[in-house]
A and B are shown apart, each in its own frame.
Chain A
Amino acid sequence: MTDSSSRKPPSPAPTPENEPFWAAAAEGTLLIKRCRSCGNAHYYPRAICPYCFSTDTAWQASKGEGEIYSVSVMRRGANAPYALAYVTLDEGPSMLTNITGCDFDALRIGQRVAVRFLSTDAGPPLPMFAPIGD
């Protein structure tokens, strides 16, 4: 079952806390947050580190590559088929996302993927992923 790409996900609604993330997304860059105090990276990005509660967090550009931690292809319903997944970025954090533009039946846990931003009608683009090499 291949991605027919007919699905139109809603535009995200940025908040002041994550505005830089969406500005970078518009330029094709995936940002994560890294804490200068404890050194851990996290996603989705917060102003205050969820691991040590330091306010000394900095935006970091991710290479935008990682591997599928888990994936489930929705086969029923209005927008089906589409693939919901967690991708573990090479920088550490896992992020909830969609895998697009591929043969859904060939997706597997551990597969290498790269970010592929999907434009939206009324807002910034969305950080989805596609298998590397596809």
Chain B
Amino acid sequence: MQQVPLWKLGMTIRDRAYIAGAFEHPTRHAPDKSTPQLHAECAAGALADSGLSLSDVDGYFCAGDAPGFGGMSMIDYLGLNVRHVDSTETGGSSYILHVSHAAQAIAAGKCSVALITLAGRPRSEPFGRTPGTAPEAPFESWCGVTTHNSYGMCAARHSHEYGTRPEQLAWIKVAASTHAQHNPHAMLRDLVTVEDVLASPMISDPLRRLDCCVVSDGGGALLVVAPEVAKSLDRPLVSVRGAGEAVKGPMGGRNLDLTTSAAARSGPAAFEEAGVSPSDIKYASIYDSFTITVLIQLEDLGFCAKGEGGRFVADGNLISGAGRLPFNTDGGGLCNNHPTNRGGITKVIEAVRQLRGEAHPAVQVANCDLALATGIGGSLGTRHGAATLILERQ
């Protein structure tokens, strides 16, 4: 069945919603707080950033990190009175997807101020997802799948098919650390070299410790609002210009392909809705649970051809001020923050900072008027969800 893109029928989220508030919790270790408390502190931070108040919020979005019974526990805890709720779960990419879903709800008149929160404390309380009654559980729960070896298999296959080398992956970490030097909140602020990455202990072949993101307590929040709300506030206008989402898994094991992610569908959908191409993007937040996550997404989004990712990321090409595509100028998940093992919200937050001109001066991209935030949640080697956003400063 041929599908006509809805935006061609005038049905689009393009410029129908704005990100008016963004807040990244400064903590990276919170043994003295509860997880709901962190959600509330993040919500308060985003409200203060926007100039809105709690009573303005009429939509709430959360994912699997929200404690309790989906949005219900959190809406009650936070004291919200909403007319729209959404707890779509695509792992760490959920919050990028939530911005799109919030924009859709706003465009449909279902809410006008949508709050998105993420928070958690993997360093301070037991953490982990059990396969439970998932259909794949009897066949996979005994295999010892972790994120490290799941993404490791993707890196190994990418290397096999395209000759991608460990030192090329290492450049992604080097670029992140170059940016993290300027972030006082970053967990890892030391500049590292390709040699440092290659000398770090092997975790799961071919990924070494410095190919992996940090584990941090913390969180973040976003406020997605209707155009008339955004224009009533005293903040730079950051509009949602396009979005895409997709889910991918081995799907019965036929034609398995671990070198292409669901971003190969979420990315083109976002670019098409936004009416722009990868070469128009001034800054990109690319989900960096591991170095390989970045490389595969860059290819799938069309920043380079499939298989060319290793060459694209090498030699500092992702470093702000030096390379062609400045990425993760906060230091990303690799160096700054990966709150509750979910890096999606920090990807949107740093993109908003760049578009507002509020990134650190050492990493601020000049005339940054078009940015992308993209993420892979779940497990790239098994089942994962991708979400891509294109944001514009008006």
Contacts and interface: CB of A to CB of B under 8 A. Distances in A.
Interface in A70-88: 70-77, 79, 82, 84-86, 88
Given A12-B141, A14-B138, A75 B254 contact: no
Interface string B142-178: 1111101110111111001000000000000000000
Interface in A85-116: 85-86, 88, 92-98, 109-110
A50 interface: yes
B201 interface: yes
B128 interface: no
Q: Which residue of B141, B150, B250, B381 has the most chain A CB atoms within 10 A of its CB atom?
A: B250
Given A12-B142, A76-B203, A92 B153 contact: no
B139 interface: yes
A96 B141 contact: no
Contacts, number: 132
B160 to A, nearest CB: 5
How many of chain A's residues touch chain B, expressed as a range?
Answer: 35 or more
B163 to A, nearest CB: 13
A97 B382 CA distance: 12
B137 interface: yes
A46 B252 CA distance: 9
B256 interface: yes
A41 B155 CA distance: 27
A75 B205 contact: yes
Q: How would you classify the secondary structure of chain A's contact residues: helix, strand, loop or mixed?
A: loop
A106 B331 CA distance: 36
A105 B204 CA distance: 12
A86 B258 contact: yes
Nearest to B258: A70
B234 interface: no
Contacts of A41: 254
Interface string B81-121: 00000000000000000000000000000000000000000
B256 A88 contact: yes
Interface of B: 135-146, 148-150, 152-157, 160, 201-207, 250-254, 256, 258, 381-382
